[in-house]
Amino acid sequence: MGIVGRTPPSVRGNLGTYNNSTTVASSTTVAFSGSNEGRAFLVGNASNVVIHCSNGGTIDADGLLAGTFYPIGVKKVAIGATGVIYVLR
């Protein structure tokens, strides 16, 4: 029979630490709560972005670097005229 007759293995469960992402684009505010709460984020464009942390406090993303991953919990992201943030779960 050989390898041709084998049933391919099924992948179950979540692979990796982060298995879902939400893009928060310009002129948008997105709240994340419960099981949807962000566990980390990646900065696409930091201009005009405010990140609300899971346990309180905010981060003005102008001080963050585009293309950088930040393992900080996210409750809400508010973006003005420009900016892009990828929230990971």
More confident residue, 62 or 88: 88
| Per-residue model confidence (pLDDT) at position 7 | 73
Instruction: Characterise 19 by phi-psi region: left (phi > 0), alpha (psi -120 to 50), beta (else).
Output: alpha
pLDDT in tens, 30-68: 999 988 999 999 999 999 999 999 999 999 998 999 999
Instruction: Give the rounded percent of residues in the chain with a pLDDT score beyond 90.
Output: 73
- What is the domain partition of the chain in residue ranges? 19-88
d(CA 75, CA 38): 7
| Per-residue model confidence (pLDDT) at position 16 | 84
pTM to 2 decimal places: 0.82
d(CA 5, CA 59): 55
Nearest CA-CA partner of 27 in 80, 78, 73: 80
Handedness of CA 59, 70, 82, 22 (dihedral sign): negative
